[in-house]
Structure 1
Amino acid sequence: MKIKVFFMLCIVMIFSISLKAQGFTPPVFPKKGLSDTIRVGATNDNGVMIPWMQLQDVSVVAERIFKTPEAKLAFNRLRYNVLKVMPYALFAKRRYEQLEEDLQKVSEKKQQKELVKTCDREIKDMFNREIKDLTITQGQILTKLIDREVGKTTYDLVKQTKGGFTAFSYQLIARVVGHNLKSTYDPVEDRDIESIIRSSGFYQ
């Protein structure tokens, strides 16, 4: 009886293997050229391996038509100012993210204060080197872009790192020279700025 069962199992296994062998067709790969040295992905399309690679998104934007020469001049001036201050907003974003990450790694208040002081010192050094020479308009755009990149207003960042009184004091000084540290970014209201950023390659 045992021999009969074993014999039947062998027949079933051989039969299933033969079916798999008959139903399996090895995929057809494209022939390699002399300069084919880059590994890419491939998709099996009915037994034919089709190579492919992912490309970056390409934005197609129509040429903007301005109603007046003055409107074109104003847009070009805005573009210059946005490109001038965008690197500072990106720096603030990276530095704030680094600060948040560093603060998560330490639990002692003393160490956290040292990290905040280091961040504040780096931002002040950059301010003393470059940001102090920005125009009022460029400063206003920068505060908007910081809110865009960091997700918090400049006022909130100062309040979080330096305290409410310092943030209030900075806001008073900023208002005197035409700035507002509480400025927020609105993609709809600031659509020209958004268009300039998207078309300038900052996120490629």
Structure 2
Amino acid sequence: MIFGVTLKAQEPVAPVFPKMSKADTIRVASTNDNGMMIPWMQLQDVSIFAHRIWKSPAEQMAYNRLRYNVLKVMPYALFAKRRYQQLEEDIARTPEKKDQKKLVKQCDQEIKDMFNREIKELTITQGQILTKLIDREVGRTTYDIVKQTKGGFAAFSYQIVARVVGHNLKSTYNPNEDRDIESIIRTSGFYQ
């Protein structure tokens, strides 16, 4: 009365791998799609920028001057970001205030030794761009950084000197307002 019957709903299919030759040495990820192994690899993002149309030659010259200034000060902003992050990590690991002040002085001296001549030769416009880029990279204004590392009086003094030359250490970076700077940074190759 009871019969034994073997049923097969699907037959297993062995995956088919592409044929390899002697020159095939690159290993990539692959996906099994109904028994066919399909190799794939992730590609880098591609940004496409339109050709900019200038209203006047003066506008193009102003943009080129801004591009020159941004490209000149961007390495300083990136260095400041790395060094400030390292300083914060070192301060977090050091419990005593005396040792923390020593770390801050050491960091300040290192920056002065490395960039003393170059930073002194920056123009006022390049200094303004540098403070905005530091805010962009670190996420804090230059005034806040000086206040934390050197104290409130030093930050106040630096702010007064900056105001005399028509600058503000409390200026922040806004990608919408500073869209030319943002586009220069994105097309420059600093972030790849």
RMSD of Structure 2 on Structure 1 (CA): 1.8
Which residues in structure 2 correspond to 1:76-95 (within 5 Å)? 76-95=64-83
Aligned residue in 2 for 1:62:
50
Question: What residue is the counterpart of 2:3 in the other structure?
Answer: none
SS of alignment partner, residue 49 of structure 1: strand
Say which SS state the counterpart of residue 30 (structure 2) adopts.
Answer: strand
Aligned mates of 2:78, 2:21 — CA distance in 1: 43
The Cα shift of 1:23 comes to 4.4
1:150 has 2:150 as partner: no
Q: Measure, in 1, the Cα distance between the counterparts of 2:141 and 2:13.
A: 61
1:33 Cα deviation from its structure 2 partner: 3.1
More helix by share: 1
Structure 2 unaligned residues grouped into runs of 5+: 1-5
Per-residue Cα deviation, 1:150-187 (whole angstroms, up to 9, x for no partner): 00011000000000001001111122223221111010
Mapped to 2, the partners of 1:124 and 1:23 lie a distance apart of 73
1:41 aligns with 2:33: no
Distance 1:33 1:134 in 2: 57
Once the two structures are TM-superposed, the CA of residue 24 in structure 1 deviates from its matched residue by: 3.2
Instruction: From the superposition, tell whether residues 127 and 172 of structure 1 become closer, same or farther in structure 2 (CA, over 3 Å).
Output: farther
1:131 correspondence with 2:119:
yes
- The alpha-carbon deviation at position 27 of structure 1 amounts to 1.3
> What is the total number of aligned residue pairs between the two structures?
187
Rounded to whole Å, the distance in 1 between the matches of 2:158 and 2:79 is 20
Matches of 2:125 and 2:21, distance apart in 1: 56
Per-residue CA distance 1:38-74 (angstroms, 9 max, x = gap) = 2211111111111111111110101101011111111
Rg larger in structure: 1
| Aligned AA (2:61) | L
TM-score by structure 1 length?
0.86
SS of the equivalent of 2:174 reads coil
Q: Which runs of 5+ in 1 are unaligned?
A: 1-14
Structure-2 change in CA distance of 1:60 and 1:163 (3 Å): same
State the 1:111 CA deviation.
2.1
2:39 aligned with 1:51, yes or no? yes
Judge which range, 136-145 or 113-122, deviates more: 113-122
The aligned residue for residue 171 of structure 1 is 159
